[in-house]
Chains A and B, each alone.
Chain A
Amino acid sequence: MKAARRGVVPLLGAAIFLLVWEVGVRTLGVRPILLPPPSLIVEELAASPGWFAVQTAYTLGITLAGFAVAVVFGVLFAVAIVEWKILDRLLFPLFVALNSVPKVALAPLFLIWFGTGAEPKIAIAFLIAVFAVVIDTALGLQSVPPDTIDLAKTLRGSRLKVLLRIKLYCALPHLFAGLKVAMSLALVGAIVGEFVSSQRGLGYVILTAQGTFDTPRVFAAIVILAVLGVALIAMIEAIERVALPWHHANSHRME
């Protein structure tokens, strides 16, 4: 009952929002070119679902690829700077400086380097997403309680064992917080990449529809992006629940 209500209430909020939008636009006589009513957006989506699916798949592919590279590189980089203080002092200030450059400004440069295929878009998605992964993973690796560090020392464990058995596990909750941020940012990066140059993807859809003042189509793409964003975050939360079973324990694995 309670769980059912938890699921229903946000949906109710969305339903009210859509209803106010629909009724407001119709009664005030707002032209669809400025703000189309939800019904028109649905019509737009229903008119060519296959085409939208193809564009969505392209953007999703770019996002996931950029995200995956950001996770692999980000975690390795975080481990490196936490394990070797010299690397921390050598590379971290540079990394922070690079991050303070607006990454969108680098997009044109990536076109020169990587051409007009998927690569420059993946690179932008990666670049925007990686910072969150590095910062949160590094924070997590350093969040080992003092008693646990002492324990590891008295057990005379190797650095590798301390990393694999203790530090990485301590970092996992932080890592997942970072992954959620990184996933949203990778999606932003993918859209930015498609804005700059593309013949495919939802960013391309928005840009070309805007060129012909096809506002319902712009909104259709935005709706898909919103749903995509929510779905990707939900996916990470689902993985988190599987990956951190001890976080939801009263679980008592039976012998």
Chain B
Amino acid sequence: MIAASDVVKRYGDADGVTALQGVSLDIAEGEFISLVGPSGCGKSTFLRCLAGLEAPTGGRLQLDGAPIDGPPERLGMAFQRDALLDWFDVLENVLLPADFGGYGKKKYEARARQLLQMVGLDGFARAYPRALSGGMRQRVAICRSLLLDPRLLLMDEPFGALDALTRDQINVDLHRLWTKHRMTVVFVTHSITEAVFLSTRVVVFTPRPGRVVADIAIDLPSERKLAMRETPEFGVYTSRIRGLFEQMGLIHD
């Protein structure tokens, strides 16, 4: 579905910053891919290129065989800060993609309510975002990104600002939503545990300029429970990724 070969992204002129230095990555339909790496390694930049928000300065980046030259159709995106609109209530926020796409809010209202119910927010449809906690807001943002049944869901460290408990719960919720809808997800995170827990594949980036240093298929049962994180099989993956970070000199014991 997505084919990236040798993607380069430079900012500024010759002595500018190189964010991506030859990223090659293929993503098949229905995969859940996590991009992990240190801060500023360009994983978010790569995601923004996939979203059509930025254009690569070199290499080839294709979606379904055509170069990405703007936000593709049936794209869902979740941002670091939830980007909810404070002046609309929860239901209207979730319906925003239908409104912007001109599909009619009425037609999608039932689906919006159903999504809210799946993340336990059905009682808050008419609340303003300001009245919600960080975790609830991010759930609303996820519902919004799923409204139009996206083929491709891009998530840029959406849970970074949440406390550990909330984060665990929202990971479970997201995994359930993915199991149900099976859209292709590209998920940027700092958390190795989160990446292994959610993904079918974890891609590790080097520090800037970003390159892919490892591409690890996660072969764990498709039904993921939080307790699974304590199993030896799970530990094998996390310690392997942590080992890569150590090799790159990013963490020391």
Q: State whether A154 touches B71 (Cβ < 8 A).
A: yes
| A103 in the interface (beta carbon within 8 A) | no
B77 and A252 contacting across the interface, CB-CB below 8 Å: no
Q: When A150-B83, A161-B99, A165-B96 are in contact, do A249 and B53 touch as well, CB less than 8 Å?
A: no
- Output the nearest chain B residue to A156 by Cβ-Cβ distance: B71
A150-B83, A249-B130 known, 17 other contacts, Cβ within 8 Å? A145-B81, A147-B79, A150-B48, A150-B79, A151-B79, A153-B52, A153-B53, A155-B71, A155-B96, A155-B97, A156-B73, A161-B99, A165-B88, A165-B100, A172-B87, A246-B129, A249-B127
Per-residue A-contact encoding for B76-89, CB less than 8 Å = 1, 0 else: 11011101011111
The 7 closest A-B CB pairs, nearest first, are A157-B100, A249-B128, A155-B100, A147-B83, A253-B126, A169-B87, A147-B79
Query: Is B125 part of the contact surface with A, judged by Cβ < 8 Å?
Result: yes
CB-CB under 8 A from B76, the residues of chain A are 154
B236 to chain A, nearest CB (A): 36
When each residue 222-255 of chain A gets 1 if its CB lies under 8 Å from chain B and 0 otherwise, what string results?
A: 0000000000000000000000111101111111
Is the CB–CB distance between A251 and B79 below 8 Å? no
Chain B residues closer than 8 Å to A111, beta-carbon distance: none
- CB pair B126 A254 closer than 8 Å: yes
The interface size of chain A toward B, counting residues with CB under 8 Å, comes to 28
1/0 contact string of A132-168 vs chain B (CB within 8 Å): 0000000000000101101111111110010001100
Min CB gap B93→A, angstroms:
10
* Most central of A151, A244, A252, A253 by chain B CB within 10 Å: A151
Contacts of B71 in A (CB 8 A): 153-156
Q: Find chain B residues with CB under 8 A from A250 CB.
A: 130-131
- Count of CB-CB pairs between chains A and B under 8 Å: 83
What are 22 A-B interface contacts by the 8 Å CB criterion?
A145-B81, A145-B83, A147-B81, A148-B85, A152-B100, A153-B52, A153-B53, A155-B71, A157-B99, A158-B100, A158-B102, A169-B85, A172-B87, A246-B86, A246-B129, A246-B130, A247-B130, A249-B127, A249-B131, A251-B131, A252-B128, A255-B126
Which residues 12-66 of A have a CB within 8 angstroms of B? none
- Chain A hits for B80, CB < 8 A: 147
A172 — which chain B residues lie within 8 A by C-beta? 87
Q: A154-B71, A155-B101, A161-B99 are in contact. Are A253 and B53 (CB under 8 A)?
A: no
Q: Which residues of B contact A244 (CB under 8 A)?
A: 87
Chain A, Cβ-Cβ closest to B86: A246
CB distance from B179 to the nearest CB of A (A): 24
B51 at the binding interface (Cβ < 8 Å): yes
**Distance of A155 Cα from B97 Cα, bound (Å):** 6
* B contacts with A, residue count (CB < 8 A): 32
Chain A CB within 8 A of B172 CB: no
- Partner of B128 from the list A152, A157, A165, A246 (CB cut-off 8 Å) is A246
Which residue of A151, A246, A255 is within 8 Å of B87 (Cβ)?
A246
Q: How far is the CA of A120 from the CA of B36 in the complex (A)?
A: 66
A22, B201: Cα distance in complex, Å: 83
A252-B126 in contact (CB<8A): yes
Taking a contact as CB atoms under 8 Å apart, the answer to whether A165 and B85 are in contact is yes
Write the nearest CB–CB distance from B13 to chain A, whole angstroms. 23
* Smallest beta-carbon distance B71→chain A, Å: 5
Q: How far is the CA of A156 from the CA of B83 in the complex (A)?
A: 16
Contacts of B87 in A (CB 8 A): 169, 172, 244, 246
Residues of A within 8 A of B75 (CB): 154
Q: Which residues of A contact B79 (CB under 8 A)?
A: 147, 150-151
Q: How far is the CA of A177 from the CA of B143 in the complex (A)?
A: 34
Which residues of chain A come closer than 8 Å to B99, judged between CB atoms?
A: 157, 161, 165
Of the candidates A152, A155, A250, A255, the one having the most CB atoms from chain B within 10 angstroms of its own CB is A155
Docked complex: B46-62 residues within 8 A CB-CB of A: 48, 51-53
Determine how close the nearest CB of chain B comes to the CB of A35; give it in whole angstroms.
50
Q: Which of A148, A157, A246 contacts B83 (CB 8 A)?
A: A148
**Contact residues in B for A255 (Cβ distance below 8 Å):** 125-126
Q: Are B51 and A154 in contact (CB under 8 A)?
A: yes
Contact B131 A252 (CB under 8 A): yes
Within 8 A of A (CB), among B113-136: 124-131
Chain B CB within 10 Å, residue with most, of A246, A247, A250 = A246
Q: Is the CB of A252 within 8 A of B127?
A: yes
Which residue of the partner chain A has the closest CB to B83?
A: A147
C-alpha spacing A233/B51, complex, angstroms: 46
- Output the nearest chain B residue to A245 by Cβ-Cβ distance: B128
- Shortest Cβ gap from A101 to chain B (Å): 37
Query: Does A151 contact B128, Cβ atoms closer than 8 Å?
Result: no
Residues in B16-30 with C-beta less than 8 Å from chain A: none
Q: How far is the CB of B188 from chain A (nearest CB, A)?
A: 14
